[in-house]
Structure 1
Amino acid sequence: MQQTVIIRKAEHQDVTAVLNVRKQAILAGCKDAYDSTQLDLWTGVSADKVITDMIVNSFYVSEMGNEIVGTGKVDLTTGQIDGIFVLPSHFGLGLARAMLAFLEQKAKAHGLTKLFLDATLNAVNAYSAYGFIADTPRNYESPTGAVLRCVPMQKEIK
């Protein structure tokens, strides 16, 4: 039985679920691309006021039934995509692609013509399949202090 996916704005009561999706997705999806120290630093986020405000103000969630199964955000001034995460139990269902399409439509509606993101090494092929073009890999420093090799990517939208 196929469940309907609803993408909606994140709310205050979603913060714990958003952080859980993020952590599980990183630990399952990135374990072969980054070492355990990097993963520990990267997932060491707590729901302080700054993180809570960021999630409530800029994130969207994918919901199936009553469960938050994916996340994502787009900065409508710069076109920067971030926080595309899916619960490992829902990998392969097209939820990341659906979130990207949703965020792209939001960006288009705001008159943006390009999207940007920093892809983790394990996600480059998935973003390429969605039309993003890779640039030269570089180091990215996450707000938690983890230094991660990533691939800047961009996509023109029309």
Structure 2
Amino acid sequence: MHIRKATAADAPIAFAIRREAILTQCAGHYAEQDIAIWTSGEMSESFALRVADAFHVAEIDGRVVGTGMIDLAYGKIDAIFVRQDWMGHGVGRALMNHLERLARDARLTSIYLDATLNAAPFYRRLGFAGEATSTYRSSLGVTLACVPMTKPLAPP
């Protein structure tokens, strides 16, 4: 597996992986109509710019199988999505380790994220803490329950 900084050319596959992950992993945790809204529409120009600016991708045999991003100004991790056929193979963990390393190199003392209800156990296994449920408001107009989580970082 190789993890690299994403480019604008990665935006379409990142968007497809995001949609697939939400449809397969969030089912049963969120209402069907909310998932339908959350995954509706086409890829926007702002999404493509965000991919080029802040995303990292995991590749296996030259094929993008996962995404993730970190805002190094604030320590916010987002967009951790893995292709369904690569779930459970360490892709998400490898992406998280990579993003944490970037955060440590940037001298951040903690990182945080808003976990979907289905993903909170995964993040807890990686050392994140958070139990309370909050609200995430999607740019598409859907409001979803999430679990705000934080993780302190040891210096590099």
Change (3 A) 1:61 1:73: same
Give distance in 1, aligned partners of 2:122 and 2:41. Answer: 25
Moved over 4 A (4+): none
| Distance (whole Å) between structure 2 residues aligned to residue 40 and residue 66 of structure 1 | 30
In the alignment, does 2:46 pair up with 1:78? no
Once the two structures are aligned, what percentage of the paired residues are identical?
A: 36
List gaps (5 residues or longer) in structure 2. none
> 2:95 pairs with 94, 99, 108, which one?
99
Measured after TM superposition, the shift of residue 146 of structure 1 is: 1.6
Indicate which of 12, 28, 32 corresponds to 2:24. 28
Residues paired across the two proteins, number: 154
Q: Aligned equivalents of 1:6 and 1:46: distance in 2?
A: 28
Displacement of 1:130: 0.2
Name the residue aligned to 1:17. 13
Structure 2 counterpart of 1:131: 127
Please give the TM-score of this superposition, normalised by the length of structure 2: 0.95
Report the counterpart of residue 136 of structure 2 in structure 1. 140
Give the corresponding residue for 2:43. 47
- Unaligned 5+ segments in structure 1 are none
Deviation at 1:48, TM superposition (A): 2.2
Q: Which amino acid aligns with 2:135?
A: N
Q: Distance in 1 between matches of 2:41 and 2:89?
A: 26
How well do the aligned residues superpose, as a CA RMSD in angstroms?
1.0
